């Protein structure tokens, strides 16, 4: 099969990457540097939860390349990649796929802990009123610890992407326009309408959670 440029990252997945980058950056800017009011830190956290829920669902019903089954591989594939005998992946390599899942897991845990966190002054997560003081302190402590861990994971992920770029994989451009030159067949890309529906339902689910927590 002749190599040709094909869409490997659909628009919803690329939009998820971009929006998540903005939201995480805004949360660090407000939480660590005080560049924004901390109330915006909460809003960005709620939006992050909605995006993560969307991505989890999209990982099962989205385009072929966005599904977890497309980039989460077993030990044999990982060892083959480390030995250099694994064929080039259309999107994430075997290690990159697991690193993405790890970052999503840490970010999800951090965001959920944030719902029960407090700065002890004037900003309280929506679950604080339903918990005892020890539980709030526990959630707040882990919210900060996971935020630090996420920074290290992001740094490692960026370093890995730059290393792949240096080796000629052209990942950065592909993450922006979605195309890569492959010998393999193009993955199936599903309708953006499905993504919009999933996003709206995800946002509604997070809104329902917050509404329940505030009652």
- Which of helix, strand or coil describes residue 95? helix
Q: How confident is the model at residue 89 (pLDDT cuts 50, 70, 90)?
A: low
* C-beta of residue 3 within 8 angstroms of C-beta of residue 59: no
pLDDT over threshold 90, residue 215: no
C-alpha of 141 from chain center? 22
pLDDT over threshold 90, residue 175: no
Q: How confident is the model at residue 11 (pLDDT cuts 50, 70, 90)?
A: very high
Four-point Cα dihedral 80, 81, 85, 87, nearest 10: 120
Angle at 93 between CA 98 and CA 181, to 5 degrees: 145
Can you say whether the dihedral through the CA atoms of 11, 16, 21, 25 is positive or negative? positive
Q: pTM of the entire structure?
A: 0.90
Q: How far is CA 24 from CA 126, 148, 170, in A?
A: 19, 12, 24
pLDDT value, residue 48: 98
Token pair, residue 76, equals 């044999």
Q: Taking residues 60-70, report their average pLDDT.
A: 93
Token pair, residue 30, equals 């407000």
pLDDT over threshold 60, residue 1: no
**Domain that includes residue 152, residue range:** 4-214
Neighbouring residues of 20: CB distance < 8 A, sequence distance ≥ 6:
48, 51, 52, 107
Computed over every residue of the chain, the mean pLDDT equals: 88
- What DSSP line would sit under 152-203, residue for residue? HHHHHHHHHHHHHHHTT--HHHHHHH-EEEESSPPPP---HHHHHHHHHHHH
pLDDT over threshold 70, residue 43: yes
Give the CATH number for residue 78: 1.20.950.20
pLDDT value, residue 132: 92
Q: How many domains does the chain have?
A: 1
């Amino acid at each position: 099969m002749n190599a040709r440029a094909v869409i490997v990252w659909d628009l919803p997945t690329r939009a998820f990457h971009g929006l998540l980058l903005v939201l995480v950056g805004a949360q660090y800017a407000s939480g660590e540097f005080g560049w924004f009011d901390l109330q915006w830190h909460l809003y960005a956290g709620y939006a992050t939860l909605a995006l993560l829920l969307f991505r989890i669902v999209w990982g099962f019903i989205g385009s072929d390349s966005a599904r977890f089954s497309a980039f989460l591989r077993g030990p044999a594939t990982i060892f083959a990649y480390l030995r250099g005998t694994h064929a080039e992946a259309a999107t994430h390599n075997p290690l990159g796929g697991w690193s993405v899942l790890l970052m999503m897991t840490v970010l999800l845990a951090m965001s959920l802990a944030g719902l029960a966190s407090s700065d002890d002054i004037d900003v309280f997560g929506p679950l604080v009123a339903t918990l005892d003081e020890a539980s709030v302190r526990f959630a707040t402590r882990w919210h900060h610890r996971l935020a630090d861990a996420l920074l290290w994971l992001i740094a490692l992920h960026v370093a890995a992407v730059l290393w792949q770029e240096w080796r000629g994989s052209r990942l950065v451009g592909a993450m922006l326009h979605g195309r890569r030159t492959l010998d393999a067949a193009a993955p199936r890309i599903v309708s953006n309408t499905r993504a919009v529906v999933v996003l709206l339902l995800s946002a509604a689910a997070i809104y329902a959670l917050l509404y329940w927590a505030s009652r």
